[in-house]
């Protein structure tokens, strides 16, 4: 079957802009993506911030763990120059800033918030994220995902219907059962999506949201396999093919 795919910008338009920054999100929005994926962690003083790594070394001009800094301290680091000096004005966004931006732009897109609590466990990250979503009334525009099954199970215990995605790598035999046990969908890589398990998951009513696809050949295979979402660093490469029947 050949259907449309929803395109999500992975860490924003991270192929052309510094990942997980406001400019990467705004440029993704301009590409009219269906969704944006981003990663969240907690600062020392409990602010939800948008950054992929547990440490700030790779994507800022600072050094150390996210959880060692207050939000005020973290904001001072340059989160753009590592990518290109043109982006030296970018800082690590707070999740609330992203929500405010969505409101400001009246953005219709889905925000896939990955809870980055698999390497370091951030107590209360789930509660804090859910509370903020509730404050902004964004329940219909978010998906919470995590590699940490227990964290997603906690999300489900706190909220009966918010959309979730169980993240895993490779061809996992027990992913379907785990996801179904907490009413999550599957955030998988291409090997799973194109496997017999991927087919079974779809037959059992699970959506497949596939990360991270940057080549047209792969995109076309996934389109053929009728996956629901493809996450990419380069939404510009696929947007014109998204709705071809």
Looking at 93-244, list the stretches that DSSP marks H as alpha helix, in order from N- to C-terminal side: 95-105, 125-135, 149-158, 175-181, 190-193, 196-203, 216-224, 235-238
Q: Does 78 bind Ca ion (CB under 5 A)?
A: no
Q: Which of 149, 168, 197, 211 binds ligand G3P (CB under 6 A)?
A: 211
Q: What are the C-alpha distances in Å from 189 to residues 146, 167, 192, 198, 230?
A: 14, 9, 6, 10, 10
Report the residue count for the chain: 245
Beta-strand pair 35-42/48-50: antiparallel
Site size for ligand G3P, by CB under 6 A? Answer: 11
Q: Is 159 a catalytic residue?
A: no
Q: Does 91 bind ligand G3P (CB under 6 A)?
A: no
Q: Which of 19, 27, 39, 126 binds Ca ion (CB under 5 A)?
A: 39
Neighbours of 216 (CB within 10 A): 12
User: Rounded to the nearest whole angstrom, what is the least distance from the CB of residue 114 to Ca ion in the complex?
Assistant: 4
**Cβ contact 20:38 at 8 Å:** yes
User: Rounded to the nearest whole angstrom, what is the least distance from the CB of residue 225 to ligand G3P in the complex?
Assistant: 18
Q: Does 37 bind ligand G3P (CB under 6 A)?
A: yes
**Cα–Cα–Cα angle for 222, 228, 230, nearest 5°?**
60
Cβ-based nearer residue to ligand G3P, 14 or 60: 14
**Cβ contact 62:79 at 8 Å:** no
Q: Is 52 a catalytic residue?
A: yes
User: Rounded to the nearest whole angstrom, what is the least distance from the CB of residue 39 to Ca ion in the complex?
Assistant: 5
Q: Does 19 bind Ca ion (CB under 5 A)?
A: no
Q: Does 142 bind ligand G3P (CB under 6 A)?
A: no
Cβ-based nearer residue to ligand G3P, 9 or 176: 9
Q: Which pair of tokens denotes residue 109?
A: 């897109």
Sign of CA dihedral 25, 28, 32, 38: negative
**Residue 167, binding choice from Ca ion, ligand G3P, none, Cβ under 5 to 8 Å by partner class:** ligand G3P
**Cβ contact 185:164 at 8 Å:** yes
Using the contact rule CB under 5 A, the part of the chain among 14-22, 37-45, 58-66, 95-103 near Ca ion is: 37-45
Q: Does 19 bind ligand G3P (CB under 6 A)?
A: no
Residues 164-183 that bind ligand G3P (CB under 6 A): 167
d(CA 74, CA 92): 7
Binding site for ligand G3P (CB under 6 A): 10, 37, 39, 52, 114, 145, 167, 187, 211-212, 231
Binding site for Ca ion (CB under 5 A): 39, 114
């Amino acid at each position: 079957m050949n259907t449309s795919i929803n395109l999500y910008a992975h860490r924003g338009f991270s192929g052309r802009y510094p990942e997980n920054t406001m400019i990467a999100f705004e440029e993704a929005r301009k590409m009219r993506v269906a969704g944006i994926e981003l990663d969240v962690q907690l600062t020392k003083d409990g602010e939800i911030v948008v950054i992929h790594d547990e440490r700030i070394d790779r994507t800022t001009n600072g050094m150390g763990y996210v959880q060692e800094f207050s939000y005020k301290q973290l904001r001072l680091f340059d989160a753009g120059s590592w990518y290109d000096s043109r982006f030296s004005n970018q800082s690590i966004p707070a999740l609330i800033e992203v929500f405010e931006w969505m409101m400001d732009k009246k953005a219709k897109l889905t925000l896939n918030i990955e809870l980055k609590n698999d390497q370091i466990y951030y107590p209360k990250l789930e509660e804090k994220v859910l509370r903020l979503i509730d404050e902004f009334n964004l329940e219909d525009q978010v998906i919470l995902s995590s590699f940490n099954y227990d964290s997603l199970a906690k999300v489900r215990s706190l909220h009966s219907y918010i959309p979730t995605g169980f993240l895993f790598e490779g061809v996992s035999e027990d992913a379907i059962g785990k996801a179904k046990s907490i009413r999550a969908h599957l955030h998988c890589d291409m090997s799973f999506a194109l496997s017999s398990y991927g087919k079974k998951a779809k037959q059992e009513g699970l959506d497949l949201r596939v990360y991270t696809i940057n080549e047209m050949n792969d995109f076309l295979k996934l389109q053929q396999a009728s996956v629901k979402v493809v996450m990419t660093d380069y939404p510009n490469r696929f947007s014109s093919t998204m709705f071809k029947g």
